[in-house]
Amino acid sequence: MPRIASVFAALVGLMSDGCGSTETPPTTYEVKGRVVVKAGNQVLKQGSVAFIHRTDAQLNARGEIDEEGKFTLFTFSGNKKLPGATPGAYQVTVSLPQGADHRGHSKTLPAPYQVEAKENFFEIVLERMP
């Protein structure tokens, strides 16, 4: 009987580790910016910005572009939406919403962007609309 109790206690311990895990979320720093289209010198008025972490896909961040071309990044950790992004190098993609042709249009920028452990502001300049 003591052996059954030990096995039961071990199973309960394993189950509680997986359910309701209290992993510490990553430390994030504010990341804001603006997307400008060089051709026509205008801001991009809709779409999204994705910051793809160069070494850890769980640290990817994204933000929606508003009517003034501004965005604020968020990182998702488990079921939590954290403001900002973690420090590190990111590949950046700017995407427009699907158009009438049902195709998404996006542009991945060639150079990585570096988020630092401070408030960050990026002006993303596109040569033309994606």
Q: Where are the domains of the chain?
A: 28-126
**Least trusted range by pLDDT, from 33-47, 97-111, 116-130:** 97-111
Rounded to a whole number of angstroms, the CA Rg of the chain reads 21
**Least trusted range by pLDDT, from 13-17, 93-97, 104-108:** 13-17
Q: How far apart are CA 55 and CA 112, in angstroms?
A: 12
Amino acid at 83: P
Query: Does residue 2 surpass a pLDDT of 80?
Result: no
Share of the chain above pLDDT 90, in %: 68
CATH superfamily, domain 28-126, is Immunoglobulins (2.60.40.10)
Residue owning tokens 């973690």: 86
Q: What is the pLDDT of residues 42-63, one digit of tens each?
A: 999 999 999 999 999 999 999 9
Give the DSSP letter of residue 7.
Answer: H
> 82 near 74, Cβ under 8 Å?
yes
